[in-house]
Amino acid sequence: MTARLYGDVLMENFLYSKASYTAEMAPRCNRWITVAHVSRSWRYTALHSPALWSDIRINGTLSGYISFLYTSLKLSGKLLKRITVEHEGELPAYAAYAVVYYARAQAGRIEKLWIESEGDYNIHHHLTFPMPSLEILSLHAKIFLKLRSVYAPWKWAPQTLTRLTHLILNDFHPWTVPSYDEFLDMLQACHNLEFLYLGHSCFPIKEDDDTPREREIYLPSSLRDMYIYDEADQMAEPMDALKLSSNTRLHLIPSYGVGSSEHHIVHAGCTRLYNTPFTDMQSRTTMTSRPSEFGQPAIQQ
C-alpha cells in the first residue's frame, strides 16, 4: 500500500513537472525528464508509467533527441495520444518508421500529429491511414518533398475530419496535390475547425486559362482564426473568393514583395476585410512570426 501510494505521488510530480515545462517552453524542451533521474527508484517508476509517454515531443537535431523519440514511442503503450516531431534535418529512417508504426497501431486514439522534418524518409510518405480522433494536424511538406507521394487528409473519408479543430499546412500547393476540389472538400468536411494556417499553400481561384473557378471558398462557421502566410500577390487572389463567418479573424502575413517584413494583419469578419484596401490594411499591423503550437501568433522579440 505504501509503495503504491509512493508511486502515485511520484507520478503526480512527474506529470506536473512535464506539464509545467511544456506549457512554458513547448515544444523546445525535454528537460522535465531530468526530474525522473534523481534516483534509481524514481527512474524505474517513470519508465514503467505509460501515462508519462502519452504526449511525445522532440525538437532539435541531436542524435539524442531521436533516441529519446524512439524510446518514448516504445514506452507509450496504448496511451499514445499526441506526437510532436520538429526535427531540423533529415529524420533517420528507423525513427520515421517508428512514428508511423506506433501512430498506426494507436490510430483510433491519436489526437495530435505535428510533423516537421526533412529528407527522403519524411514521415508524410507513410501516412496512409485515417485517425478518427485527430484534433490537431500539422504537416510541413518542404519544397523538395515529392508531393505526389504524400497521402494526406484530403484522401481521408469526410467523417474522419469532423473532430479536427486545428489544421496547419506548409508548402502544400493545391494546383498540384491536392486538386482545388479536393482541397475545398477537405476544408468543408472540417465542421469543427477553429484554427487554419496556410503557409505558402494558397489556393488559386483561376483556371489555367485565367478564367475564374466556379466554386467559392466557404469555410466552417466554427473557424475563429485563419492565417495565410505567402507572397503578397499570391494572397491577393483568393480574397474575393473567401466566404468567412463574421466570427472569423483573417490574418495575412506577406513573406516578401508588398509588405516584405513579415507583418501581421488582423480583421474580424469578411465584410470589413473586403471593404478595406490592401495598402490600408498594411498600416495596421503587428510584428509576428509563424503561429505557435496552440494557435496564437508567436511574437518576435
For the chain, what are the domain ranges? 1-48, 54-287
How far is the C-alpha of 171 from the C-alpha of 193, rounded, in Å? 20
Mean pLDDT of the chain: 67
pLDDT classification of 12: cutoffs 50, 70, 90: low
pLDDT classification of 230: cutoffs 50, 70, 90: confident
Query: What is the reported pLDDT for 271?
Result: 32
Whether the predicted pLDDT of 181 surpasses 50: yes
Q: What tens digit of pLDDT does each residue of 114-148 get?
A: 877 765 556 666 777 888 888 888 877 654 444 34
Q: What tens digit of pLDDT does each residue of 20-77 get?
A: 544 444 444 555 565 555 667 677 777 667 677 788 877 665 666 777 777 788 878 7
Give me the residue label for grid cell 496552440. 294
Q: Partners of 136 in the beta sheet? A: 112, 166
How far is the C-alpha of 16 from the C-alpha of 159, rounded, in Å? 35
pTM of the predicted model, to two decimals? 0.62
Query: What is the reported pLDDT for 74?
Result: 80
- Strands 166-170, 195-199: parallel, antiparallel or unpaired by DSSP? parallel
**Ranges 87-101, 217-231, 246-260: which has the least confidence:** 246-260
Whether the predicted pLDDT of 9 surpasses 70: no
pLDDT classification of 224: cutoffs 50, 70, 90: very high
Q: What tens digit of pLDDT does each residue of 65-117 get?
A: 777 777 788 878 788 888 888 777 677 777 778 888 888 888 888 998 887 77
Residue of 35, 39, 40 whose CA lies nearest to 20: 35
Residue of 215, 196, 188 whose CA lies nearest to 204: 215
Burial class (CB in 10 A: 0-12, 13-18, 19+), 125: middle
More confident residue, 120 or 296: 120
How far is the C-alpha of 49 from the C-alpha of 249, rounded, in Å? 41
